[in-house]
Amino acid sequence: MSPTDMKDQTIEKCESVQDATTEDVPLQTILSPSGKVLVLGEAADEAMEFAKHHEHIELSAEEDRKVKRKIDMIVMPLFSFLYMIQFMDKTCISFAAVMGIQTDYKMVDTMYSWTTSCFYLGYLFASPFAAVALQKLPSMRTSAICIVIWGVIQCLHVTAKSYATFTLLRTLLGVLEAFVSPIFVIMMNQYYKKSEHFGYIGVLYGCNGLGTVILACISYGLYHNLGSYTMEAYKVLFIIVGCLTIFNGLLILFIMPNTPADARFLNDREKLAVLERIRGNNQGFGSKTFKWHQMKECFMDMRTWLYFLIGISVAIPNGGISSFGSIILKGFGYSTEKSLLMKAPIGACELVGLVILPLISYFISKRMIIAVFYLLVCVMSTCLLAFSKNKNVALAGYYITGIAPVGIITITSCVASNTAGHTKKLTANAISLIGYSAGNIVGPQTFRSSDAPNYPKAKAAVVGCYCASIALMGLMSFLNVRENRRRDKMQEELGDKYVVVENQEFADLTDFENPAFRYSL
């Protein structure tokens, strides 16, 4: 079939769609960007039901700012605190490494590396199950319960009598985190515009840096007063972090609704305002119906595998540096006590570097440009860490790597903004997290005991991974620009025959199915 025939056929389909939508029928149809006629109205998003029973409102800029400010004051602190605690749970093992845990559990060779890798093995194993469970069950409540259980298991670390038991507990933490991480993507789509995703996810990850600063100070204080406790200092650290986790889980359980339509902290007008805020996302609150065709589409989408590969490439450095940070500092010649405190600056660099992303996004709307710039800085800093003979220069390079989470921020924001259809979104998020988990499993294994204390091979691997992630982001940007232009051209050619059904945004269409969907760059 010639391109002209294909174009004529598409226009004919569009005319039939337009005729169908003018009839008084319960189901309506649209023409997807691929030329396929789709029937709407079955198993739509939860936001569709809310929209049907409420009148459409005009949202002024002032009212939009007011509602956003309220969300920022309630939702963002809860999830920023969760991100901070989540990171502290994972990385307190790095502080425990120089506080005596390796000696107490007789860790030799790669045994310490596996205390981090096994966490991500649990994460990797549970991610597919979490994707299905969080669609079928009330997502926020399910995750909140998992957070509370997670905190309890963190506290139980103090009871481990052997390396095997300790490793099992670390693996269970990874299983539970798989049921927590997806709610960040769900929350972003429920309350925030696509243009806000990158910056606000940056704020969440910036709180990881705050967690590092707090952990450094607590660990330093605990180690400085070793003789004051009835148990090892690192076990006190586990209890502190575990109790904070339980507290955060309870806050989310009692404050956060499963959808904004059920939010007790919003009045009826504000709930409608939230609905209007996210209308431009072409996504809604989420659908409880698992759709196999969306999962199949996710596997066929090249972007999914780019998310996976970028996740691996940014996670290998993360897994290695976060686990061996304190050990790297000891390799510079610092004492155990000072190496604990010296981790605070990398957290401060992460906090400042990532929390300012919303401000940078205000001036530079293209997230990929910002991400690539940040990763180029990471390449420079890891080169300093890997190849500089000057200790102070290498130390500066280590601290600058604090901004490296911009890689996973980009992937998380792209899954939130550029993957439509609730089943497809949760599947894509699970696949990206599997890639991220795999990278974090591999990362600590690159730091071999035979290369201690400088680990030159592992540091060189970090440089290569950041370069690979930059190339992959460039490819993803090219795909999105090309597809947006194709859809714009198709809409222009159809003219008046281009049909937009009322509340089409909340029909739980995928990005492949919705002709109004455009990929954020």
pLDDT digits (tens, 9 = 90+) for 27-84: 467 777 776 776 665 566 677 777 666 677 788 889 989 999 999 999 999 999 998 9
- Asked if residues 303 and 419 have their Cβ atoms less than 8 Å apart, the reply is yes
**Cβ contacts of 153 within 8 Å, gap of 6 or more:** 169, 172, 173, 176, 242
**Cβ contacts of 335 within 8 Å, gap of 6 or more:** none
- What is the predicted pLDDT for the residue at 22? 41
- Asked if residues 427 and 305 have their Cβ atoms less than 8 Å apart, the reply is no
CA distances from 145 to 132, 138, 149, 243 (A): 16, 11, 6, 14
**Cβ contacts of 191 within 8 Å, gap of 6 or more:** 71, 75, 260, 274, 277, 278
Q: Cis omega before residue 453 (within 30°)?
A: yes
Q: d(Cα 321, Cα 339) in Å, to the nearest integer?
A: 14
Q: d(Cα 385, Cα 116) in Å, to the nearest integer?
A: 22
By CB atoms closer than 10 A (0-12, 13-18, 19+), residue 337 is: middle
Closest CA to 84 of 248, 324, 250: 248
Q: Which superfamily does CATH assign the domain made up of 69-261+288-490 to?
A: MFS general substrate transporter like domains (1.20.1250.20)
Phi, psi (deg, nearest 5) at residue 32:
-75, 165
Q: How many residues does the chain have?
A: 521
Q: DSSP letter for 451, please.
A: G
The residue extents of the domains of the chain are: 69-261+288-490
CA distances from 38 to 25, 30, 427, 504 (A): 15, 5, 22, 11
Please identify which residue in the block is written with the tokens 């919003």.
266
- 197-216 as b/e: b if 16+ CB within 10 A: bbbbbbbbbbbbbbbbbbbb
Residue 4 structure tokens:
């002209």
Mean pLDDT by 10 residues, the chain (521 residues): 48 49 51 71 66 74 91 93 86 77 81 81 88 87 93 91 90 90 87 90 89 84 73 85 93 91 89 86 79 91 94 85 70 74 85 90 90 92 84 86 88 90 90 87 76 73 89 94 91 76 77 88 86
The whole-chain average pLDDT of the chain stands at 83
- What is the predicted pLDDT for the residue at 408? 87
CA distances from 290 to 142, 328, 427, 512 (A): 17, 46, 10, 17
- Sign, CA torsion 393/398/403/404: positive
- Asked if residues 245 and 150 have their Cβ atoms less than 8 Å apart, the reply is yes
- Asked if residues 360 and 219 have their Cβ atoms less than 8 Å apart, the reply is no
- What is the predicted pLDDT for the residue at 42? 59
- Asked if residues 82 and 314 have their Cβ atoms less than 8 Å apart, the reply is no
Q: How many CB atoms lie within 10 A of CB 49?
A: 15
- What is the predicted pLDDT for the residue at 24? 41
- Asked if residues 291 and 423 have their Cβ atoms less than 8 Å apart, the reply is yes
Q: What angle do CA 381, 432, 307 make, to 5 degrees?
A: 65
Q: How many CB atoms lie within 10 A of CB 152?
A: 14
Please identify which residue in the block is written with the tokens 């298991």.
153
Q: Letter for the amino acid at 214?
A: I
Quick check: helix, strand or coil at residue 175?
Answer: helix
- Asked if residues 19 and 37 have their Cβ atoms less than 8 Å apart, the reply is no
Q: Rounded to 10 degrees, what is the CA torsion of 458, 429, 505, 5?
A: 80
- What is the predicted pLDDT for the residue at 6? 44
- What is the predicted pLDDT for the residue at 245? 92
- Asked if residues 183 and 60 have their Cβ atoms less than 8 Å apart, the reply is no
- Asked if residues 93 and 234 have their Cβ atoms less than 8 Å apart, the reply is no
- Asked if residues 246 and 151 have their Cβ atoms less than 8 Å apart, the reply is yes
Q: How many CB atoms lie within 10 A of CB 357?
A: 25
- Sign, CA torsion 215/217/221/224: positive
- What is the predicted pLDDT for the residue at 79? 92
